[in-house]
Amino acid sequence: MPRVLHTAQALVDVILEIDELPPRGGNANARSETTYAGGAVTTLIAAARTGATAVHGGAHGTGPHGDLIRQALARDGVALSDSPRPDLDTGYCTVLLEPSAERTFLTVYGAERQVTAQSLATLAPEPGDLVCVSGYSLFEPTREPILEFLESLKEGVDVVLDPGDPFATFPREVQNRMLARTTVWTSNADEAKALTGLEALEDTPEAIRRRLSPGAAVVVRDGERGCVVFHHGRGTQIPAFPQKAVDTNGAGDTHTGVLLAERALGADWESAATRANAAAAIAVTRRGTESAPTRVEVDEFLS
């Protein structure tokens, strides 16, 4: 069975619940503090809980943050292909969470930046596997190792790009090098608009598709309006399941993990996206980044 493999950073999320962001130079009191494993972990846990084989190939540290990452992955049977980096801990992200569920991020990097093309190659992707890449990995110093690794992959390995906010800001040559190897694009609406420069969201999937490798698929999420799946020259709107959100942190990563796991298990794009929409709807009703539902929970939700 194809596997879901991830190259991106596994970070620790320190979530501070606040009433509102303070003004610049001001002060705010946190109502609570909770620590979770986040980043690539959220996608991989979602894939594993759906029933796929999931493996993390990014770097991780040897301190308490690295321990937390490994424990979170182990609970759901997610494997690690690389060894911990000695004398350096995994980085962390402070998340300021407002009552509206809006989030603000402050990131401190650590061992997860110490990747090479050779360390990523420990994932040993085979044709049919789905290799996930985050746009945040395309900053220096991880840009060249990621691109070198992707350009060495065997024919038939799917490369899945989650561009994040920064991808549209990268130089055109960096974008082209990444997109030439991308066979699956999955993003939110703002990220799709930023790359294409188009105002009409419905026009973005086809425009993105023209920049990808032949036969690629494009998935664009649009919150409570669901997502669009574009492949084989046509787009399909997949409805959402709107819920009252308490924490949107990790919802997009949960959607991606379930989408790819369903594909690995043999589902068509439309069926996979329907279940991914349902999983994301469940995730936003729970707190934390490890909120992905199990396959049984998605079945019950859809029934």
Q: Which residues contact 25 (CB under 8 A, 6 or more apart)?
A: none
Determine the pLDDT at residue 220. 97
Q: Whole-number mean pLDDT of the chain? A: 94
What number is the average pLDDT over the span 45-49? 97
pLDDT digits (tens, 9 = 90+) for 261-302: 999 999 999 999 999 999 999 999 988 778 899 999 999 999
pLDDT of amino acid 291: 84
**pTM tops 0.75, yes or no:** yes
* Share of residues in the chain with pLDDT > 70 (%): 100
pLDDT, position 214: 87
Give the 3-state DSSP-derived string for the chain, with helices as H, strands as E and coil as C. CCEEEECCCEEEEEEEEECCCCCCCCCCCEEEEEEEEEEHHHHHHHHHHHCCEEEECCCCCCCHHHHHHHHHHHHCCCEECCCCCCCCCCCEEEEEECCCCCEEEEEECCHHHCCCHHHHHHHCCCCCCEEEEEHHHHCCCCHHHHHHHHHCCCCCCEEEEECCCCHHHCCHHHHHHHHCCCCEEEEEHHHHHHHHCCCCHHHHHHHHHCCCCCCCEEEEECHHHCEEEEECCEEEEECCCCCCCCCCCCHHHHHHHHHHHHHHCCCCHHHHHHHHHHHHHHHCCCCCCCCCCCHHHHHHHHC
pLDDT tens across 87-111, in order?
Answer: 999 999 998 988 887 888 899 999 9
Question: How does pLDDT run across 121-146, given as a tens digit for each residue?
Answer: 999 999 999 999 999 999 999 999 99
